Each structure stands twice: as C-alpha cells, then as structure tokens.
Amino acid sequence: MGRPKKPLISRETAVAAAIDVIDADGLEAFSLGSVAKRLGVKSPSLYYHFSDKAELLAQVARHILLDVQFDWGGPGDWDEKTITLCRETRRAMLKHPNAAPLLLQFFPRHLLLGAYEQTVISYPRHRPLHMAILEGVEKFTFGSTMFEASALARGVPPMPEVDPERYPNLARSIAANPFDDEESFVQALRIFFAGVKVLTDGKD
C-alpha cells in the first residue's frame, strides 16, 4: 500500500490511540483501521510511521515499559531497590492489562541493557550468580504480572473462590493471608531474595 504524501498524525499520537483501542476493545479487536478511525484519519496515514501492524504493537510494548518510573540511584539496599523497580513495572503493566501480552511478544530487551548494567553493579559480590538473580527477578515479575493482567482483562479474580469443604487447607491459608495482590507479589520477591542472600553470604 502506498504512503500518503504528507503525515496527518505523529508517531506518538498513533501509539496513544493504539493503546486506547486495546484498552477499550482488547487485542483481538485491534487493527490499523481501528487506530485510524480513532484518530479520524485513513489507514494509509499510519504507514508514514509504521511499516505494519506488528511495528505499531511493538511500540505499544515499548511505551508501556518506558512508563515505569524509577531512579536506581536513590537510597536503599539492592534488594529493596529491586523490589521498588519490580513493583513499578507491575503497576505500569497493569494500567493496560489487555496490552500486557505484548510485553512478551515484543519484549524490548535492548531498552533494558542500561538498567541491567546498573542492577548487577549493586548485586551481591558473587558474580557467578548475577545472571541467575536477574533471570529470577525478571521472569518472576513479568510472569506474575501477566497472570494478574490476564485475570483483569477477563474480569475474573486472580484466585477463584475456594470451597473450604473440598480444599480446607488452601482455604485456611487464603483466609490467613494479610496481603493484597501487590503486597503478596512483594513478599514473594522478599522470599526469593532471602534465598539469594543465603547462597551468596560470604562469597566473593
């Protein structure tokens, strides 16, 4: 398809419109035509900025990730700073639960290399475990958040109602849990980091 003679929209407004479409109607309803309609233009206008639908969706993923607000140079130990970063990443993704799967499909890892560099500097000194720590933190954060985003997108609770007669132990554990979903996520990270500290204690 040919490109129009002059751009009628900007790359940024197109990405914002794409997010609006996905938020409102889900990924299944997404198309270049739906974005163009929201912008009040014809579909060819989008080809000034994006070669195809996949490129626009990749930019949506990038936009969500860049919305994470965090300064690694702030105060705190490495584990607490990592928890803050993971919490903010989770919050950014859950603003757009319908779009969250795009973070897996179009994960913009190149944007994170600088963050990885700052992160491993502060890790425990035992460097052979650095990549395992990074793997655990990253996969836990994105995996856990994807589960919750999927539930939000479908309008169902992350944990279904449990029949205490059929599952008495699980029901008691759920009843004893003092944490909301976000704090449960944070506590799980703290458990992971407690294990990291045991493995790296006294090692260079």
Predicted pLDDT of residue 6: 54
Domain 11-51 has CATH 3.40.50.620: no
Whether residue 7 has pLDDT greater than 80: no
Average pLDDT for 138-159: 94
Mean pLDDT across the chain? 91
Q: How far is CA 181 from the centre of its chain?
A: 15
Whether residue 5 has pLDDT greater than 60: no
Whether residue 3 has pLDDT greater than 90: no
Average pLDDT for 105-130: 88
Whether residue 34 has pLDDT greater than 90: yes
How confident is the model over 174-198, as pLDDT tens digits? 999 999 999 999 999 999 999 999 9
CATH number for the region 70-200 comes to: 1.10.357.10
Q: Name which of 19-33, 58-72, 151-165 the model is least confident about.
A: 58-72
Predicted pLDDT of residue 17: 96
Measured between alpha carbons, how far is 160 from 158 in angstroms, rounded to an integer? 6
Predicted pLDDT of residue 1: 46
The count of C-alpha atoms lying within 13 angstroms of the C-alpha of 119, restricted to the half-sphere facing its C-beta, is 22
Give residue limits of the domains in the chain.
Answer: 11-51, 70-200
How confident is the model over 41-74, as pLDDT tens digits? 998 889 889 999 999 999 999 999 988 888 877 7
| Predicted model pTM | 0.88
H helices within the chain, ranges in order? Answer: 11-25, 32-39, 53-66, 78-94, 102-105, 113-122, 130-154, 168-176, 181-200
Domains 11-51 and 70-200 share a fold: no
Whether residue 30 has pLDDT greater than 80: yes
Query: For residues 61 and 100, is the Cβ–Cβ distance under 8 A?
Result: no
Whether residue 89 has pLDDT greater than 90: yes
